[in-house]
Amino acid sequence: MTKRLEGKVAAITGGNQGIGLGIAERFIQEGAAVSICYLSDKTGTEKTVEGLRRGGGKAVAIQADVSKLADGQRFISETVSQLGELDILVNNAGVEKRASFWDVTEADFDFVLNVNLKGLFFMTQAFVRYAMQTKRAGKIINISSVHEELPFPHFTSYCASKGALKMITRNLSIELAPLGLTINNIAPGAIETPINKNLLNDPVKLKSLLENIPLKRLGNPRDVASIAAFLAADESSYVTGTTFVVDGGLTWNYEEQ
Ligand code: BGC
């Protein structure tokens, strides 16, 4: 396999689990060095990083709460000081809270929006400032969701954050193009990851979800990582401002009997 990311450095938020970890593994196979950030699980993340290094890959873990602007800036600057440079930012960290609209609390709203939207916004700003200072081209990849388009009742704060990502990506594709920076979203559908653990442990809910997916299976992080590798590599250099849906057909599933 030709290694498409040889010599590149990628920072992946929430790269210690789920889709973020799948992307970290794939980027390392493609020759990149990666930094992942984690919120609190130091021991678990150190084990994960050992796994990433096993095949000779270069990986570091940095503690950061992406919902805090200063932590986001530190994640970018520590990545550069530990790995020498930075070419690719993957905004993967995301959270969701289920509640009927009338029961949503201010704390849960802030939690979801601060991680998924504010955190991503300022992490991206820190990356762009670094790229400007060092006059380097770069790639930004946001892990959005099919719910940047598709309604998801009882997850309105989550949908609001993902809808916002769609507009951030469109806006920044124009504003950042003169700097040689591209930005794209990946919109996963139902992927087997920790964010889905309640659903995965509920056979009735799982069955009804699978009935909505034309390809009749959940996705796995590798399905998302292959698109991320394409978007991180030079071969996607003419692609910016768009969303790649990875959902087994879920979004447009409609049939009349
Ligand atoms: C959500 C999952 C959900 C999936 C499909 C994802 O964005 O995080 O909870 O199962 O979309 O609806």
Asked if the model's pLDDT at residue 257 lies above 90, the reply is no
Q: Which of 38, 130, 158, 238 is catalytic?
A: 158
CA distance 149 to 151: 7
Asked if the model's pLDDT at residue 1 lies above 80, the reply is no
Token readout for 255 is: 């049939």
Q: What is the pLDDT of residue 201?
A: 94
CA distance 182 to 247: 23
Q: What is the pLDDT of residue 135?
A: 98
Asked if the model's pLDDT at residue 86 lies above 80, the reply is yes
Q: Are 122 and 72 in contact (CB under 8 A)?
A: yes
CA distance 11 to 59: 10
φ and ψ at residue 204, rounded to 5 degrees: -70, -45
Residue nearest (by alpha carbon) to ligand 1 atom 9: 196
Q: What is the pLDDT of residue 2?
A: 87
Pocket lining: 145 vs ligand 1, CB cutoff 6 Å: yes
Is 130 catalytic? The answer is no
Q: Which CATH superfamily is domain 9-192+220-245 in?
A: NAD(P)-binding Rossmann-like Domain (3.40.50.720)
Q: Looking at the CA of residue 199, tell me the nearest atom of ligand 1.
A: 10
CA 105-164-37 angle, 5° bins: 80
Cα–Cα separations (whole angstroms), residue 3 to 6, 7, 228? 6, 10, 14
Averaged pLDDT, 232-239: 98
CA distance 79 to 177: 24
Handedness of CA 40, 42, 46, 47 (dihedral sign): negative
Cα 202 to middle of ligand 1, angstroms: 14
Q: Give the pLDDT confidence of 201-229 residue by residue, as tens digits.
A: 999 999 999 999 999 999 999 999 999 99
Cα 180 to middle of ligand 1, angstroms: 32
Averaged pLDDT, 149-159: 98
Domain boundaries of the chain, sorted by first residue: 9-192+220-245
DSSP 3-state helix, strand, coil percentages of the chain (rounded to 5)? 50, 15, 35
